[in-house]
Structure 1
Amino acid sequence: MRSIATLLVSATLLLTGVTAVFAQADDITIAVALEPPALDPTAGAAEAIDIVTYQNIFEGLTRIDRDGSVQPGLASDWTISDDGLSYVFSLREDVVFHDGSTFDADDVAFTFERILADDSTNAQKSLYEVIEAVEVEDPQTVRFTLAQPSGRFLFDIGRGDAVIVASESAENNATLPIGTGPYAFVQWDRGSRVILERFDSYWGDRPPLARATIQFIGDTATLINALLAGEVDGTNNMAAEALEVFANNPEFQVLVGTTEGEVVLATNNRIEPFSDLKVRQAMAHAIDRDALIEGVTYGYSAPIGSHFAPHHPFYVDLTQTYPYDLERARTLLAEAGYEDGFSATLKLPPVGYARQSGQILASQFAEIGITLELINVEWAQWLEDVLTNHDYDLSIVAHVEPFDIGIYADPDYYFGYDNADFRELIETLNTTTDDAERRTLAEEAQRILAEDAVNGYLFELAQTGVWRAGLEGMWQDSPIEGLVLRDLRWSE
């Protein structure tokens, strides 16, 4: 990535040398950084798939709204049995797939049988293994029977991994996606763009824009120039260091929100000295989040004190559990037997936020006598060394799955956190369906992780959108993977 100075020079040259024409009609071109490897969100793990397809081409029985809440989707309503084991969904009528075939309960049954099949390539298959049976009661009614109550069931079936596909077209969805959403797939120019058009037979409200082009631009300077020239109308995630190009430009609006990406100093709790709570507490006291956020994301991120997204309604602000306090950090290290500090390795994957955070944290930890050796690794090596083999001391990575606090209930996970009380709490949370009770349990789970300083909780990755002035309906926060087009419109 070019330096910010180079980007600003480039932008200035473009502004003085080009007269951009900003067309505001009934179409839009949006730039995103990554091209998806395929276009079937039920058969691949890449977030880039959902960016293009989720709630645009494909829909689920439920859908996740901009505030993270669960709303009706292809199911208009549902009833839940008293024991929480049976969900009966009433399906919307007059819904058709983009190829004209009719949507009904058989498509729902097919979709989940495919997800749970032995040869399934669904990235989140484990979320749906709670399903014991899917029964078609009539064309508009389908019953799910669960092995145990699941407080996340309605959310999980609203994710991109559980969108409804048809048996007639599912095999080709990777390259020719056919769903029930408000936009139909038109073409995919590999290496360049995907074009979608409004589906006139859509069952729901008619989306305002007739045509949407998702253009793939990975280079920040190229993206800046494309925006200023009027070649694209916006992006959901501009590099933070480039936002000042647009912040005071009346032709644009900058929307800064949060994502589901908790950036953590991942800590190997199973090995010394990190198995000692006082060592982890000392590290927590040595972290200056404000300096990290300013240095890594130019101030465009939210600090976190536990493993939870700030935009979630269950979020608790725990950033002051271990406030920045170098004297307290040194005292705790001495109490743990490390008065002179210690040395450790910090393995960093190939993303800017991780490697920049690593450099700043190394400087901060040096203040209390902890010497970090920074080891840059590629993703394949990170997955093997850190995630699979647990061959690491410390690492920095963003965990981007929604509501994934339950990963700490697995002592075999790469953190090596083994807390029987926490496991019991998560098991109760997972089987609780009452929303108020779930909130109480989720808040307690956050507090346990914060107090145990399982990881260094740094910041939530920001969603930094830049959009043409006059465009409305964009999501400021990103509670789930996706770039939802349904509400986008040009103001009059």
Structure 2
Amino acid sequence: MALAVALLSVGGCNRQADTGAVTVSAVHGRSGGVSGPGRSGFADGDTSHRLLRDSLAQGLVRFDANGQIEPGLAERWIVIDDGGSFIFRLREAKWDDGSPVTAEQIVPILRRLASPRSGNPLAPFLTAIDEIVVMTPQVIEVRLSRPRPDLLKLFAQPEMAIIDRTRHGTGPFRIIRAGPPPLLRPIPDPRRAEPDDDAAPAPEDDVRLISESPARAILRFAQGGSDLMLGGRFAEWPLLDGAQINPAAVRIDPAAGLFGLSIANRQGFLADPANRQALSSAFDRAALLSAVAPNWEATDRLLPDALDSDAPPQIPGWALLTLDERRAGARARVAAWGQPVRLRIALPDGPGANLLYGQIGATLLRIGITPERVASDAPADLRLIDAVAPFDSARWYIATACAPCGEAAQAAIEQARLAPTLAERSRAIALADAALNADTPFIPLARPLRWSLVANRLRQYQANSRAWHPLNHLRGTPN
């Protein structure tokens, strides 16, 4: 609370001179501060751990400043058999201890990362990988049992960074001072460095990575103590109101993903899909979102567009009714239940979450349901899902929303996963979308709100649909 109050008194002077190390505040998750590159927090949104992993180790490919694929350990690749096989040629690279990187070392690490037993949150979306083989000391082939043209976007995620247990990572940074906070320095690219080039990197090439709470990160930026804050979400957005930060420094990502309420408990009133649909219909999404952040666009459907489905996104049957009609129908279903309905809503902490709960609770009371707010990890009836899509497939949306869902929807999702051709996969995804629309395991509200605070010196920073900003793509080349 003291930090939030302190924000009211600071000014919005953002450091603009391109001097000294770039200081980055990354919002940490529940587990605390920045640790080693082996930590992973994809599903939980732990920006600090994912950034450090991405900085100290890289996969075969990476994301650039625009969220597009660029070379990582692989300098080039080809895709054959309509996405049924990927062949990667490795570039010249060295481990943290200076030893050369070979395909024989990388392949077992990739196999481990793709294993369902790895604990990798991306593993459920890598089941099409049949085998990963060494073709030559510098060439790797990833063979798939089912075509997956979007595999590169999964391989570019920090969770797929290649980390050897004894040699650690391959950059693009290394830690030159452990901290806290750690100070990172770029690793020279052996393809570009001259043999006799022993010039030390400029101080401006270094990055100081701080892991801290959102309130502290906002305060640090407002006071000129950092150049970048990464990891802003809806729960912290209201803290900006009193921070007096230059509006030009606030950058909002056009993030693709899911933001809404999962039906976490399918018992009692929520056991009936008609009741779940009535509950979804009762929300005034525009009013709910505008109470948290201006211009936050609402949605009433699961898929943002067709993606790899062969049909347009399913629209709920109540979409053409007026709000009054929808709420009247929801009240009637609650009254017909014949006993009190009480729903527990699991939300994170933060002022934005408080505002969101106020809107959700008011809606539930309006239709005769008693709301109860619980912690985000507590047993609940409705649980907030706030996640950026790691790749552009409708299967991610339907699989993430099915938590849980009915047998028919689960069967449709499994059919999409196992489809042997892209055409059959597209048809199966469309059927799964229709099955989820009927089952209503998820109440869509919006797309994820992701934002950063960016100083002028970071010329290469770009907002993107991945909401991902690698630390080696911040400053660009000074003018």
Q: Report TM bin, short chain.
A: 0.7 to 0.9
Query: How many matched pairs?
Result: 459
- Using the alignment, how far apart are the partners of 2:213 and 2:334 within structure 1? 46
Give the TM-score of the pair, scaled to structure 1: 0.77
Matches within 5 A, 1:324-339: 325-331=323-329, 334=332, 338=336
Query: Displacement of 1:253 after TM fit?
Result: 1.9
* Superposition deviation, residue 138 in structure 1: 0.8
The 1-side partners of 2:413 and 2:269 are apart by: 27
* Among 97, 100, 106, the residue aligned to 2:98: 100
- 1:452-463 to 2 correspondence within 5 Å? 452-463=439-450
Per-residue displacement from partner, 1:313-357 (whole Å, max 9, x unpaired)?
A: 989787886446132332355368728795122232443354542
Q: Deviations over 1:388-416 (max 9, x none)?
A: xxxx4323332445258647867996423
1:74 is matched with: 73
What is the deviation of 1:361? 1.0
The question of 1:230 aligning with 2:224 is answered: yes
> 1:59 is matched by which residue type in structure 2?
Q
2:197 corresponds to which residue? none
The amino acid across from 2:24 in the alignment is: I
Q: CA–CA distance in 2 between the matches of 1:443 and 1:355?
A: 36
Question: Residue 153 of structure 1: CA displacement?
Answer: 2.9
Q: Distance in 2 between matches of 1:188 and 1:51?
A: 17
The answer on whether the counterparts of 2:26 and 2:211 sit within 8 Å (CA) in structure 1 is yes
**Paired position in structure 2 for 1:376:** 374
Aligned partner (choices 407, 417, 427) of residue 418 of structure 1: 407
Q: TM-score, normalised by structure 2?
A: 0.78
Q: Which among 183, 188, 191 is matched to residue 195 of structure 1? A: 183
Measure the CA separation in 2 of the matches of 1:64 and 1:20.
27
Contact 1:32-1:214 at 8 Å conserved across structures: yes
**C-alpha distance 71-205 of structure 1, shift in aligned 2 (>3 A):** farther
The 5 A counterparts of 1:52-67 are: 52-53=51-52, 55-65=54-64
Deviation of 1:463 after TM superposition, in Å, equals: 1.6
Q: Shift in Å at residue 204 of structure 1? A: 7.5
Q: Which stretch has the larger CA shift, 194-203 or 305-314?
A: 305-314
1:235 shift after superposition: 0.8
Q: Kindly provide the amino acid, as one letter, of the partner of residue 29 in structure 1.
A: T
Distance 2:76 2:148 in 1: 18
Q: 1:304·1:460 contact (CA, 8 Å) conserved in 2? A: yes
**Match 1:264 to one of 254, 260, 263:** 260
**1:286 corresponds to which residue?**
282
Q: What pairs with 1:64-463 in structure 2 (closer than 5 Å)? A: 64-65=63-64, 69-82=68-81, 85-92=84-91, 94-115=92-113, 120-166=118-164, 168-170=166-168, 178-179=169-170, 181-190=171-180, 193-201=181-189, 203=191, 209-218=204-213, 220=215, 222-238=216-232, 239-244=236-241, 249=246, 253-259=249-255, 262-268=258-264, 270-296=266-292, 298-299=293-294, 301-308=296-303, 322-323=318-319, 325-331=323-329, 334=332, 338=336, 342-352=340-350, 353-369=352-368, 371-377=369-375, 379=377, 382=378, 385=379, 392-400=380-388, 402-403=390-391, 406=395, 414-420=403-409, 423-424=411-412, 427-428=415-416, 431=419, 446=433, 449-450=436-437, 452-463=439-450
What is the identity, as a one-letter code, of the residue corresponding to 1:416?
C
Distance in 2 (CA, whole Å) between partners of 1:480 and 1:256 is: 9
Pick closer, same or farther for the CA change 1:67–1:430 going to 2, 3 Å. Answer: farther
**Aligned Cα RMSD in Å?**
4.2
How far apart are residue 213 of structure 1 and its match?
0.9
Whole-Å separation in 1 of the counterparts to 2:187 and 2:161: 17
Return the alpha-carbon distance in structure 2 between the equivalents of residues 432 and 247 of structure 1: 55
Q: Distance in 2 between matches of 1:401 and 1:241?
A: 24
Structure 2 stretches lacking a partner, 5+ long = 195-200
SS at match of 1:303: coil
Give the residue type in structure 2 aligned to 1:306. R
Q: What code does the residue aligned with 2:238 have?
A: E
Instruction: Tell me, in whole angstroms, the C-alpha distance in 2 between the residues paired with 1:67 and 1:447.
Output: 32
How far apart, CA to CA, are the structure 1 residues paired with 2:116 and 2:381? 36
**CA–CA distance in structure 1, aligned partners of residues 438 and 219 of structure 2:** 46
State the shift of 1:136 in Å.
Answer: 1.2
Residue in 2 that maps onto 1:40? 37
| Deviation of the 1:223 alpha carbon | 3.3
Stretches of structure 1 that go unaligned for 5 or more consecutive residues are 171-177, 386-391
Contact 1:303 1:319 in 2 (8 A): no
SS at match of 1:344: strand
Would the alpha carbon gap of residues 83 and 265 (structure 1) be closer, same or farther in structure 2, given more than 3 Å must change?
Answer: closer
